[in-house]
Amino acid sequence: MCNIYRTKKGKVCKAGKPVDLSLADGSKTEGVWGGSATEEKLDWWLKKPGNELTQTDEVAEVGVKDTKTDDIAWAQAPDGAHLLFVLEAPVTGKNGAPYRIAKMVTREATKAEAAYFKEPRSALFGTMKPGRSIRRLSPLAAPPPRPSAQGELF
């Protein structure tokens, strides 16, 4: 699953860190990127009290960090694409400050994306429309899978 992205303005955002988001009314907010919410269960996520659909600034590319090598596989985002997040109801942290968890909305990866990223899920590209609906954007074709590193010969 996507765990890093770059905005059109060049800002890199990573899972586990705060991300800038916009609400349906255009107001700005922030959430701590903590996991994902599947597109197939989006209605369930949004029925929870206090949860809201949000979107990022326009994104240029998304990536998946390989846990073994720390390499990042990047893929371009379609023009005009935003990433969508479910912003959960506020909770209070151990330090007493409130924060909100933001769960990226994901979809089933295309065969090319699954081969390239080595992940069955990918980011849902789109923009929010009034009434919690989404204008979905098709992903661009993923680059071909990278060849496996050759093992030791001797």
52-87 per-position pLDDT tens digit: 999 999 999 999 988 778 889 999 999 999 999 999
Q: Please tell me the predicted confidence (pLDDT) of residue 25.
A: 87
E strands within the chain?
A: 4-7, 12-14, 18-22, 28-38, 52-55, 59-65, 72-76, 82-87, 91-92, 98-99, 101-108, 121-123, 125-129, 133-137
Specify the residue for token string 């390499």: 71
Residue pLDDT, tens place only, 113-144 = 999 999 999 999 999 987 778 999 999 988 88
The C-alpha atoms of residue 51 and residue 30 are separated, in whole angstroms, by: 13
Instruction: Residue 101: name the closest of 85, 115, 88, 117 by CA.
Output: 88
Residue 149 banded pLDDT, cuts 50, 70, 90: low
Domain boundaries, the chain: 4-132
- pTM listed for this prediction: 0.90
Phi/psi of residue 46, each to 5°?
A: -80, -15
- pLDDT value of position 145: 76
Q: What number is the average pLDDT over the span 36-41? A: 96
Q: In the predicted model, is pLDDT for residue 31 greater than 70?
A: yes
Contact between residue 125 and residue 136 where contact means Cβ atoms under 8 Å apart? yes
Q: Which amino acid is at 110?
A: T
